[in-house]
Structure 1
Amino acid sequence: MPFIRLDPHPFKDLPPVDSQPDTKTLNSLIHSILRDEAEPLLKNLQTGLQKDSKLRPSPPSTAQVKLSQGWHQQEFWVCRQSDHQDSAIDGTGSWGEFENGLRHDHAEHEMEYTPSVTKVKQLLNWNQDPSWDPEMRIEVSDTRYQDFMVELHTFHPQALIRPRAFISWTVSAAMGKIVEDKLEPRGFITIQVPFRLSSPAEEPGYEQLSTEIRQSVPPRTIFAHYASIELVELLPPSESSDRVIRWTMATTSEAGGKIPQWVQRNWTLGGVPKAVVADVGLFIGWIMKQRERRETQLQE
């Protein structure tokens, strides 16, 4: 069974979370996800889904968004791609701003620029464990992945009829291309995998984690789920343009409860396709506000 899938995983599929985690198991799992799933899946989605006939605006971003959607192995996926000028000016962002906003503190920043996310709670952080190898590297074809971040979060969106929560295991890695045994940085990838909340009796050994999650969500919460792959690449300059930041994201989701699938997938009713396009503008708007705040602080 694939790890990147809509059907949420039980906690027993997590990397070890006891007092002496098995780093080799974690490394092996990350390697498998990157080598066998993430990039091949993203390529299949980009070529296999039905593409919209027109580009979509997402202000204040000046970049137009390519949108595609459709079925892949019995899951409905939505994929978007946008090209942004690498510059710290209105309507776009610099490479450093993209990296800071989308890679570092990914979940916390997502809450800051996405109005529907009202709370993020970090549950587990493997990066802080003494046995974690900060120098770990994984090579797939001519691409090297390094500087990994591995965390488990719950996301609490605003209530629809009943409040929702998502349990998401996040893996992020910097990417570089190996050229003559040297690493040329080219971007980063972030993968989010859904997990489900089971009863303590179903998953012995995870009672503390289950209790912590239940105590952090409002009463009558519906646990929804999603999987996503986010790829941010720094493209070299060409004769006709400066450096470009290409932001690609693909997701499959289930809101749960009594919301019909056709509503969740409907653009006019504000479903997932419209939401993922809007996220581009929300992020660029957040970058611009962060930049203004820094400039104001420097002037004071």
Structure 2
Amino acid sequence: MADIRLQPHLFTSLPAHPSLPESDSRPQLELFLQEALRQAIYFLINVPSRFQGSKQHSSPPSGAKVQLGSWRNDSEAGSSNKISKPEFWVCRRSEHVDAKTPGTASWEEFQTGLRSNHAENEMDYTPTVSAVEKLLEWPRSEILEVDESSRVKYFFKDVDVEVNLITHSFKPDALIAPRSFISLTISAMYDHVEEISAQGDRNNETMTGFVTVQIPLQSTPTSTPPDLHQRIISAVPKRAIFANYASVERVMVLPPLPSPTGTNPDRIHWTMATTSDAGGLIPKWVQRSWTLGGVPRAVVDDVGLFIGWTMRRRST
């Protein structure tokens, strides 16, 4: 199943697809998506506890402060199963004004920028992303019910699933080899959540948002169809190192803060958590260093990069 972890999955673990060999062991697409989204919700519910005592950072031109947290994870998301190696996770959250004004973005802009064409848009606003190639895409699932627990159910819609080959290039390129990632991306909207009380009463709460999950994949000559494996090998730059990352992201609309005039706009809450391994000879402590520009600084900078890109698109 689609465990959200740093250890990459093989293509044999994916649901049936015309480009993949038929196999009775392949998971059913709906069950595969339900489990991935259940784990994502589990992550997101537990992320707030990781921010205790953490600092807030600026990420211009975004007007929102970014709160940063981290933790070491030694079990799979939402289960008690131990994983082979502890994972270092970095998380951030920021709250934005829902408006098409400088320093922020509207709910519509968050959807078109972060949910639709997720990987392609990331290449537009992230300087290090140098290439994106879509390898596989499944038909959109229109409706999907996900039980986060025995008492809470999320109702997802417009569930998109694809596999992308994403390459990052760095300067100086003579010293830092490109990194290529094979990423399974699941993105889904939701508009309400059903909660069952201890007495059995059902309460439907309107909640507007979307969740994006990225799970690392690994291609090998024995686990991937030959033509697909060759396509991957041919697409990566010379000297490229295959690396891995997993992430869970949620963008949701919150009601306005109380105001005497009642004219405050909605708020947009953006949460993201990720774990990664750049591979090669870059030490883990460098990858995790804020001072040396590692993952913590990169995830904070991403907020400003996205807001700046959105403002430029708006002006054109």
Assess same fold via TM > 0.5.
yes
Give the unaligned 5+ runs of structure 1.
294-300
CA distance in 1, matches of 2:302, 2:193: 32
The aligned residue for residue 136 of structure 1 is: 143
The aligned residue for residue 272 of structure 1 is: 295
Q: Is residue 162 of structure 1 aligned with residue 185 of structure 2? A: no
CA distance in 1, matches of 2:19, 2:103: 46
Q: Is residue 286 of structure 1 aligned with residue 309 of structure 2? A: yes
Contact 2:143 2:155 in 1 (8 A): no
The aligned residue for residue 4 of structure 1 is: 4
Give 1:178 shift. 4.4
Contact 1:65 1:80 in 2 (8 A): yes
CA distance in 2, matches of 1:19, 1:196: 16
- Classify the secondary structure of the residue corresponding to 1:135: strand
2:99 to 70, 84, 87: 87
Give 1:207 shift. 1.4
2:116 to 83, 104, 114: 104
2:31 to 28, 31, 40: 28
Bigger Cα displacement from structure 2, 266-275 vs 174-183:
174-183
The aligned residue for residue 190 of structure 1 is: 212
Give the unaligned 5+ runs of structure 2.
75-85, 195-201
CA distance in 2, matches of 1:178, 1:185: 7
The aligned residue for residue 229 of structure 2 is: 210
Identity %: 46
CA distance in 1, matches of 2:101, 2:304: 14
Q: Deviations over 1:183-211 (max 9, x none)?
A: 8451000000001121x1x22x6212111
The aligned residue for residue 296 of structure 1 is: none
TM-score by length of 2: 0.84
Paired letter, 1:146: K
CA distance in 1, matches of 2:47, 2:106: 27
Contact 1:45 1:72 in 2 (8 A): no
* Corresponding pairs, count: 283
Contact 1:194 1:227 in 2 (8 A): yes
CA distance in 2, matches of 1:259, 1:46: 30
Contact 1:122 1:154 in 2 (8 A): yes
**Structure with the bigger percentage of helix:** 1
Q: Is residue 152 of structure 1 aligned with residue 163 of structure 2? A: yes
Paired letter, 2:46: N
